[in-house]
Structure 1
Amino acid sequence: MAFAEFKWDDLIGEISGLSTVIIVVAFAVHVLMYFILWMWARRDLRAIATSLYDFTRRLKNQSLLEHRAHLSVQIEAFLADVNDVLDDPSRQEDRAALLDRMSVLDEKRRYLNSMFFETVYNITRTMIEAYPLGGVLGTILAIGAALQLDAAANDVVSVSSIVGRFGEAIWSTFAGLMAAILLMFINSMVETGFERLTESRRHVRETIARAKRELFLHVSPRPASTEKSAQGTSS
C-alpha cells in the first residue's frame, strides 16, 4: 500500500511539473489543426470555384473576375450567372449547355459535403475553453503535490513547500490563459472564411437542385418536340 501511495504521489508531482509543457504542446497541436483547417477550406473553395467556372464556361454574359478576387466572391458571381440563365427561359442555348455540363458538378459533389469539416472545426474551436481549465488544474495539482509530499514525510505542511510548488502553478496558469487568448485571436481571423465556405456550399447545393429541377423539366423535352415537328414537316 505504501508503495502504491508513493507511486501515486510521484505521479501527481510529475504531472504538476509537466503541466506547462503539456499545455504548450497542446497549443502547438491546436495551431497546427487551425492551419490544416485553413488549407482544407482553401482547397474546397478552389475546387468549387473551378467547378463552377467550368460549369458556366462560354455562357453569354459570363462574369469575368480578376484572379486576385476572393474565391467566395468568384463562387457567388458564377452562381449569379447560373441563376440568370435559369431566370430567363429565352436562353435555351445556355440552358442546354448547362444541362450537358451537369456532370461536372456531380463529379465534385464531395466538396459540397460540409459535415466532417464543420465537426472538426467545432471541436477545434470548442477546445479553446479547455486551456484556462488546464491551467487551473495544473495549479491544483502543484499545490496537491506539495501537500502530498509533506504528508508522506509525516511533517507539518509548511508554507515554503507550497510556495515552491506554487511557482509551477503560476506558469501553468499563465500558459493556459495565453494559449486561450492566442487561439481566440487565430479563430477570429479564420472564422469568417470558414463561415463563408459553409454559406457557399449551401448556395451551390441550392443552385444545383434548382438547376436540375428546371433544366430537366424544360430542356429535356425539347428533342421530342423537335422530332415531332420534323416528322410533321417531312409528312
Structure 2
Amino acid sequence: MSPPRIAVLASGRGSNLQALLDAIAAGTLAAEVVGVFSDRPQAPALLRVPEARRWSAKPSAFTDRDAYEQALGDAIAAARPDWIVCAGYMRILGAALIARFAGRMLNIHPSLLPRHRGLRTHAAALDAGDAEHGCSVHFVIPELDAGSVVAQARLAIAPNDTAESLAGRVLALEHRLLPAVLALACNGRLAERGGTALLDGQPMFTPLTLDSFDRLMP
C-alpha cells in the first residue's frame, strides 16, 4: 500500500514542512508530502519539495477570494491528499474551501488555544502576563483558530522572554508536535466528527501533550 498523502499549505519559510519531511526521512512518520501550496510564489517553503509538487498563485491575480480558493481547492484535490496541513499559511480560509476538506484539515497555531487566536500571539502572551505559552494543533473550521484542539505543547515564560525569544522556543515545540500529530492521523487513529476530535474513535476531552505520544505510538 502507498503511504498516506499529506498536502501542506505554507506562506513562509516552511520550517514545519521541513519537520514533516525530516520525520518521514527518519521513519517516524509513514507518509508522503504530495504537494505544497502557497499564496506567495516566492515562499521558500516551495523549494523544499520537487517542482512537480509545488503550486502557488497570488490571490490578487483572481477576480475575488472565491475564485482564488476554488483554484486552490482544485489544486489540492488533484494531489489526492488524505490530510491537509496548514503550516504557517497566513490567509484565513473561506467556509467553502474548509467544507470541501472537512475533517481532514489541521492547523498548527503558536499559542495555547483558546488563548490568543490570530496573529502576534507571542506578544499577546507577554502582554497578558501569562505564565505559560506554547502551540496547538487543531482541526480547521470557518471560525478562526477555533476548531477542536488535538494536541498542545507548553513551555514556561521566563522573566527575560521577549516576543522574539518566545517565537523561537515555541517554533522548536511546533517542530516536535506537528509530526507527532500527523503520525496519529496517518495511522488512522485521528478523526473529527460534529466538531469534536476523536482518538481511536473516542472523543478527546483534553488535548494530547508531547508526553502523551510516547505511550500512544508503538
Measured against the shorter chain, the TM-score band is under 0.3
Q: Given the two structures, how large is their TM-score scaled by the length of structure 1?
A: 0.19
- Hey, which of these two has a bigger chunk of strand by percent? 2
Q: Given the two structures, how large is their TM-score scaled by the length of structure 2?
A: 0.20
- Hey, which of these two has a bigger chunk of helix by percent? 1
Q: Which structure is larger by alpha-carbon Rg, 1 or 2? A: 1
Higher RCO (CA-CA < 8 Å; seq separation 6+):
1
